[in-house]
Amino acid sequence: MHIDTTAPAVVLKLDPNVFHHGGLGVIRSLGRLGVPVYGVHEDALAPAAHSRYLHGRWLWRPEAADTERVLDGLLRLADRIGSRPVLLPTDDAGAILLAEHADTLRPWFRLPEPDRYLPRALTGKHSLHRLCRQWGLPHPLTVSAGSWSEMAHFAGQVGFPLVAKLATPWRASGAVGLRSTTIVRTRGELSAVHRACDRDETAGVMLQEYLPGGHGSDWFFHGYCDAASTCRPAFTGVKERSYPAPAGLTSLGRCADNVALRQQATELLSRLSFRGIVDLDWRWDERDGQYKLLDFNPRIGAQFRLFRDRAGIDVAVAAYLDLTGQPVPEGEPIVGRRFVVENYDPIAAFGYWRSNRIDLRAWAASLRGVDESAWFARDDPAPFGLMCLRMGWRAVTRPFTRPGTGTHRAGRPVYRPGRAGAAGRAAAPAGRARSAHAPRRQSSYPVVGKEVV
C-alpha cells in the first residue's frame, strides 16, 4: 500500500503526565511510515520526546484552561513547521479545545470536525449520563452528588461498593486525594471523598453504581469516524488488568472480536454524527445481559496500539489517511494481539494479588506472548530507558513532594529538533512548503536561533 507521507503530524498533549504513553504510540505509528511527526512535551527529558521517529519537540506545559495561550502556541508551532499538519489530541482537554476552536485552527491544521460542543458533553461524566438516558443507551445508575446527604442517600440506594468519578476530570486536576475514578467500599471512604470535594471546589463528583463483573467483563472499543460518521476501522478488546485495580487505565489488554458490541458502538457513533478518533469503555452486566457504557473518550486511547488490522491500519493511521484525503483500506482485525504497559502492570498486578485475584505464577504466564508494549520497542529503545529512570526517580522523591507543585512552561514554549529531524537536517531542504491555506503568522514572541522563547 502506497501512502503519501508529505503532510506532517502534530501530537497534542495537555495532560501534565510525563508517563502518558498514548502520544508515543502515535509518534511510532506514523513515524515508521515516514510521516514527519512533531510533539508537545512537558520538558526535554519526557520519555516520548526522545523517540527516534520524532522530527520536532515543542517543550511546553500550558494550562489547558488558558485557551488563548494554548491556541497561540499551536498557531506558532504550525507557522514554524511551515505546512498544514494533521493535529491529533491525546487527552480530553485537547479534544475539547480542538472541537470548540476548530474555526480558528482549521486554516493551519487538518483536524476532524465533530459538532462543536459534542466532545465536552461526551467527556463530562454526568452529561454523558444524560445523553445515555436521552438515547436509551444502557448505562449504570448515576447521580450528581454535591452534599453529604445526597451521597449517603445514593449509597443507601445502590449499596457498596460504588464508584466516584470527577464530573469534569480534564478540569479538576487539583482535587486532593481523588483520582478521576475511585472505587468506594465503605461509608468512611465515601466521607473521605466528600471531604476532598470540600477542599477543592473544582472537583464536582458523580456517584455511580458498581457493576458486578469478573474476568472478561471489561471491554473497550476503538475506532475512527470519517466526515460521514462511517466508522472504519472499528476494534473491540478486553481489559484484562487495569491500573489502579480494578478501575483505571488498561495495563494489560487483548484484542477480541465482539460483533454485538462493535455494532452497538458504531450505531451509537452514527446516531451522534461523531467524527474523529474514539475510545469507549464498556462493562458487561450479567444481571440484565447488557453492555453498559462507562466512559466516552472523543480522542485517541492510550492503548490504541493494541489494535491493528491486516492492512497495517490502526486508528492513528486511519485518521492521518482520511484527513490528508487518502483512502482508508479495509482489513480484518488481528484478533488475539496483546498489549502491556510496563510501568503500570506490575503495580496493577500487586493490587489484584492483594484481592486474591492473581498470583505471581499467573501474572508471569499472562505476559507471555505480548505483541505490543507501551514503552519498549527494539527499533526505538530510548523512551523505555528514560521511562525507567523517571519512574525510579519518582519512587524516590514522591514522599518528599506535595501534589500540585509542578511548574508550567505556560508562557515560554521552546522548540527543539527531534532525533528524526536532527538526522534529516543536512539532507532536507531549508524548510517545508507553506500551505496556501496558512499564511505566515506574525508571532508576538521573539525568535532566537532555533528556539522560540
Query: Does 21 have pLDDT greater than 70?
Result: yes
Q: Which residues pair with 418 in a beta bridge?
A: none
pLDDT on residue 355: 86
Are both 184 and 58 inside the same structural domain? Answer: no
What is the strand order of the sheet 37-41 is part of? 86-89, 9-12, 37-41, 54-59, 414-417
How large is the average pLDDT for residues 201-227?
Answer: 88
The rounded Cα 98 to chain-centroid distance in angstroms is 14
The residue with cell 457493576 is: 211
Q: Of 157, 175, 209, which marks where a domain is finished?
A: 209
**pLDDT-based confidence at 399, cuts 50/70/90?**
low
Could you tell me if residue 8 is inside a domain? yes
Are both 5 and 70 inside the same structural domain? Answer: yes
Amino acid found at 115: D
Please tell me the distance from the alpha carbon of residue 330 to that of residue 314, in angstroms, as a whole number: 11
Asked if 306 contacts 255 with a C-beta cutoff of 8 angstroms, the reply is yes
List strand residue ranges (DSSP E) for 205-307, in order: 205-209, 218-225, 231-243, 249-255, 276-285, 290-297
Could you tell me if residue 134 is inside a domain? no
Q: Burial letters for 398-433: b for 16+ Cβ neighbours within 10 Å, e otherwise?
A: eeeeeeeeeeebeeebbbbbbbbbeeeeeeeeeebe
Could you tell me if residue 99 is inside a domain? yes
Could you tell me if residue 5 is inside a domain? yes
Could you tell me if residue 176 is inside a domain? yes
**pLDDT-based confidence at 1, cuts 50/70/90?**
low
Are both 278 and 404 inside the same structural domain? Answer: no
Q: Please report, for the domain that includes residue 335, its CATH number.
A: 3.30.470.20
Cβ burial of 133 (10 Å; 0-12, 13-18, 19+) is: exposed
Range of the domain at 47: 1-111+381-453
How large is the average pLDDT for residues 253-272?
Answer: 96
Q: Burial letters for 175-184: b for 16+ Cβ neighbours within 10 Å, e otherwise?
A: beebebbbbb
Instruction: Express each pLDDT in 115-152 by its tens digit.
Output: 999 999 999 988 999 999 998 999 999 998 778 999 99
Q: Which of 11-15, 170-174, 409-413 has the highest mean pLDDT?
A: 11-15
Instruction: Express each pLDDT in 81-118 by its tens digit.
Output: 988 999 999 999 999 999 999 999 999 999 998 899 99
Please tell me the distance from the alpha carbon of residue 365 to that of residue 371, in angstroms, as a whole number: 14
β pairing state of 276-285 and 218-225 = antiparallel
Please tell me the distance from the alpha carbon of residue 174 to that of residue 247, in angstroms, as a whole number: 20
How large is the average pLDDT for residues 353-366?
Answer: 92
**What's the pTM?**
0.90
Query: Does 70 have pLDDT greater than 50?
Result: yes
pLDDT on residue 392: 93
Task: Say what the alpha-carbon torsion angle 261, 263, 269, 271 is, to the nearest 10 degrees.
Answer: -130
Are both 288 and 429 inside the same structural domain? Answer: no
Are both 164 and 84 inside the same structural domain? Answer: no
C-alpha cell belonging to residue 318: 486511519
Please tell me the distance from the alpha carbon of residue 15 to that of residue 95, in angstroms, as a whole number: 11
Please tell me the distance from the alpha carbon of residue 22 to that of residue 307, in angstroms, as a whole number: 13
CA nearest neighbour of 33 among 364, 317, 412, 291: 317
Per DSSP, the three-state class of 365 is helix
CA nearest neighbour of 349 among 240, 254, 256, 255: 240
Please tell me the distance from the alpha carbon of residue 249 to that of residue 357, in angstroms, as a whole number: 18
Which has the higher per-residue pLDDT, 15 or 24? 24
Amino acid found at 287: R
pLDDT on residue 179: 81
Backbone φ and ψ for 10, nearest 5 degrees, come out as -120, 130
The residue with cell 440506594 is: 157
Lowest-confidence segment of 50-54, 171-175, 302-306, 387-391 by average pLDDT: 171-175
**pLDDT-based confidence at 432, cuts 50/70/90?**
very low
Could you tell me if residue 9 is inside a domain? yes
How large is the average pLDDT for residues 382-404?
Answer: 82
Q: Of 209, 236, 254, which marks where a domain is finished?
A: 209
pLDDT on residue 110: 97
409 CB-near residues (< 8 Å, 6+ apart): 42, 43, 59, 60, 61, 62
Please tell me the distance from the alpha carbon of residue 79 to that of residue 105, in angstroms, as a whole number: 12
Instruction: Express each pLDDT in 301-314 by its tens digit.
Output: 999 999 999 999 99
CA 8-327-118 angle, to 5 degrees, is 75
Please tell me the distance from the alpha carbon of residue 135 to that of residue 150, in angstroms, as a whole number: 26
pLDDT on residue 428: 42
pLDDT on residue 128: 94
C-alpha cell belonging to residue 439: 499564511
Q: Of 180, 209, 238, which marks where a domain is finished?
A: 209
pLDDT on residue 171: 72
CA nearest neighbour of 12 among 87, 62, 64, 73: 87
Are both 322 and 343 inside the same structural domain? Answer: yes
Query: Does 349 have pLDDT greater than 60?
Result: yes
Amino acid found at 338: R
Q: Please report, for the domain that includes residue 175, its CATH number.
A: 3.30.1490.20
Could you tell me if residue 128 is inside a domain? no
- Of the chain, the percentage scoring pLDDT greater than 90 comes to 71
Q: Domain total for the chain?
A: 3
Are both 451 and 413 inside the same structural domain? Answer: yes
Are both 204 and 235 inside the same structural domain? Answer: no
C-alpha cell belonging to residue 112: 476532524
32 CB-near residues (< 8 Å, 6+ apart): 53, 379
Are both 336 and 420 inside the same structural domain? Answer: no
Are both 236 and 202 inside the same structural domain? Answer: no
Are both 348 and 452 inside the same structural domain? Answer: no
pLDDT on residue 63: 87
**pLDDT-based confidence at 62, cuts 50/70/90?**
confident
Are both 394 and 443 inside the same structural domain? Answer: yes
Lowest-confidence segment of 16-25, 328-337, 397-406 by average pLDDT: 397-406
Could you tell me if residue 123 is inside a domain? no
Please tell me the distance from the alpha carbon of residue 19 to that of residue 343, in angstroms, as a whole number: 9
Asked if 158 contacts 141 with a C-beta cutoff of 8 angstroms, the reply is yes
How large is the average pLDDT for residues 219-228?
Answer: 97
